[in-house]
Amino acid sequence: MNSARDIVFKRCGCTDGKAGRQLAGRCPHLAEPGHGSWYYAVQVTTVGGRKARYRLGGFQIRAAAIAARQAILDGPADEAGAGAWTVARWLRYWLAQAEPHLRRRPRTATATTGCRRCSRRSSSRRSRRPRWRACCRTRASSGA
């Protein structure tokens, strides 16, 4: 891990009156006690071998942010890399790994329409139950 890029910083959610953007670390009130919260950022290596930034904040004191950062750095590399993943990133990784093993299931007439004979089903807008075509009704009534 690159310790030169592992940082602890303070920021707040104050916004600029003119532009409406967050001031973040440029807020003039950050030096005041109780204003803003402490964050840390760590660069970790992910499961795929890429480097990712893992950020976490909301710590009231700097020492708590440093302790949490150190716990990430001292822990197993797998856990540190897993913390940097979002759900979307994990799903993309999983799909890339699983894609060679997946196969499309063939569509059958019974799975899509419920009728082997005509392979069609029309639905009424008034009711949620499907309205079957004449061939299906005659087939069902004949006992076949």
Domain range summary for the chain, segments of one domain joined by +: 3-88, 109-142
Do 84 and 51 form a contact (C-beta atoms < 8 A)?
no
How far, in Å, are 60, 130, 131 from residue 107 at the CA level?
57, 19, 21
Q: At 107, is the pLDDT very low, low, confident or very high (cuts 50, 70, 90)? A: low
What's the mean pLDDT when you consider all of the chain?
Answer: 75
> Which stretch, 19-28, 44-53, 118-127, has highest mean pLDDT?
19-28
Q: What are phi and psi of 6, to 5 degrees?
A: -85, 115
Give pLDDT, residue 138.
52
The predicted model gives 120-127 an average pLDDT of 52
